[in-house]
Amino acid sequence: MSETKINLFSFSGKERILHLSWIAFFLTFVVWFSHAPLMLYIRETFNLSDQEVKALLILNVALTIPARIIIGMLVDAFGPRRIYSLLLFISSFLCFGFAFAEDYEQLALMRFLLGFVGAGFVIGIRMISEWFPAKQVGLAEGIYGGWGNFGSAAAAMTLPALAIFYGGPDGWRYAIATTGAMILVYSVIYFFTVSDTPKGSTYFKPKKNGAMEVSSKGDFFLYLLMNIPLYGALAVLTWKLDPNHLGMLSASTTYMIYAVLIGIYIFQTIRIYQINKHVFDGPVPEIDRYNFKQVAVLDLAYLVTFGSELAVVSMLPLFFMDTFDLSIIEAGLLASGYAFMNLVSRATGGLASDKMGRRKSMLILIAGLAAGYFLMSQIDSSWPIIVAVLATMACSFFVQAGEGAVFAMVPLVKRRLTGQVAGMAGAYGNVGAVLFLTVFSFVSPQLFFIVIGASALIVFAAVALFLEEPAGHMAEVLPDGTVQMIEVT
């Protein structure tokens, strides 16, 4: 593949794959966050309490945690073309189910299931890494992620007006159903217009499926430790919905879910051992080694970057509406400024990672993220609206550029495990969203922003202490047993 610059005005070769993939990701985000700018209408239709609204926000990001792990494994095993098309197809019907829910229970269930569409991001990460060389992959992944994440801003800017266009008390339903129809059509388009790799390239697959491969005993135990928050976030959600809080789950159902989560963790631990028991028998061959510590730090970095973005995008329209006494359309447009920055900031983060180095760029961007959230914690009704929006956009630049820096490095950990590394990091983004939204359900918006900023400082320390710059090359074994060296810098 050529080392020339990315030509965004081209629709051939690798640029064609980039455009088709970011459109798929963009549509998943339109569907995933179609509820946020229409929450006022939804709240009025079902006469929801504030706690029920906040429960919907948490439910929206919960299923994405296991979905991104599972989708990451499926992508590595079956390729992004098939898995992306299937995800879009299934998600369209979940979207229709949410749009035409008849009561709060159905609404909550379909919002929970729609978290599945949030796993689409992982698929494109593997697709882009197959088509772009190492010196371009950070920028390419940033463009993919940035234009895709812009889907939440596009939803905020267009869906309230679309709901009014449809008219009547059910206008919001048809607006959301329209987004479902869009991804249904695009699932077919994507399947027939992309391929997993350039002609003549090899699609590397994991040697074993069901869990990530590790290459040392220390990495094995770190992998088990890093899996705990994935289940812990789902346990927190269950606790939030139990009889002592929102009352959406009975006591018996709550305990059953806890038992199932523990059982799945135990099952996964056994599966991880089955796949990695060779690390206890002796040193792993050099060609198969990688440092899982890199994955762990990237997980935490994505927790505070994308996790905070998901949480803030979910609550920002209502925050602006309540703080500045705005209409739903005005609040949606102003809040969209946060996600609007994705158009440039995520690609900027990827480019900075390509040019400045993976570790240095991430440190700068996470420090900026922390400062941005501390600034947002000061926003109140005494602020001029324009200044509040500018502060929000400044913060979001560092948040989304940090996301770009994280996923500029993800494909450079181990090529054949890219889907699984992306899936785990992506899942940690949703862990962050669940945790931050749970905090938001108990505290003021100002304290909510302070908690995110403090969390970012902790992650800054982890990056400074433990993240390593990738080596110049990684080795992968071709299907015929020969070794191929892949450039990563």
Q: Per residue of the chain (489 residues), what is the pLDDT tens digit?
A: 444 477 777 888 899 999 999 999 999 999 998 998 898 899 999 999 887 887 888 788 888 889 988 999 999 989 999 999 999 999 999 999 999 999 998 999 999 999 999 999 899 989 999 999 878 888 898 899 888 888 888 898 899 999 999 987 789 999 999 999 999 999 999 999 999 999 888 888 887 777 899 999 999 999 999 999 999 999 988 888 888 877 777 899 899 999 999 999 999 999 999 999 999 998 888 888 889 999 999 999 999 999 998 889 878 888 998 899 888 788 878 887 787 787 889 889 999 998 898 899 999 999 999 999 999 999 999 999 999 999 999 999 999 999 999 989 998 888 888 889 999 999 999 899 889 988 988 888 999 999 999 999 999 999 999 999 886 555 555 554 454 555 655
pLDDT at 203: 85
Centroid of chain to Cα 171: 29
- Classified as helix, coil or strand, 208 is coil
CA 238 – CA 245 distance, rounded (Å) = 10
Residue type, 231: Y
* Lookup: tokens for 140: 């390419």
What number of other Cβ atoms are within 10 A of residue 412's Cβ? Answer: 25
* Lookup: tokens for 478: 């071709």
* Lookup: tokens for 331: 């609040």
- Domain ranges within the chain, ordered by starting residue: 13-196+208-487
pLDDT at 425: 94
Phi-psi region of 482 (alpha: psi -120 to 50; beta: other; left: phi over 0): beta
475 pairs with which residues across the strands? 485
* Lookup: tokens for 329: 């359309």
pLDDT at 173: 96
Describe the crossing of helices 385-409 and 328-340 by its angle, rounded to 10 degrees. Answer: 40
Residue type, 18: L
CA 147 – CA 126 distance, rounded (Å) = 16
- Classified as helix, coil or strand, 474 is strand
- Classified as helix, coil or strand, 295 is helix
348 and 142 Cβ atoms separated by less than 8 Å: yes
Q: What are the CA-CA distances from residue 303 to residues 251, 346, 349, 366, 377 (Å)?
A: 30, 16, 16, 11, 19
pLDDT at 37: 85
Residue type, 213: E
pLDDT at 46: 93
Write down the pTM of the prediction: 0.85
DSSP 8-class letter at 12: S
- Classified as helix, coil or strand, 485 is strand
pLDDT at 487: 60
CA 362 – CA 405 distance, rounded (Å) = 6
Superfamily of domain 13-196+208-487: MFS general substrate transporter like domains (1.20.1250.20)
Q: What are the CA-CA distances from residue 53 to residues 49, 232, 315 (Å)?
A: 6, 22, 10
- Classified as helix, coil or strand, 242 is coil
pLDDT at 4: 44
φ, ψ (nearest 5 deg) of residue 53 = -65, -45
φ, ψ (nearest 5 deg) of residue 79 = 95, 150
pLDDT at 52: 85
Q: How many CA atoms lie within 13 A of 155 on its CB side?
A: 32
pLDDT at 2: 44
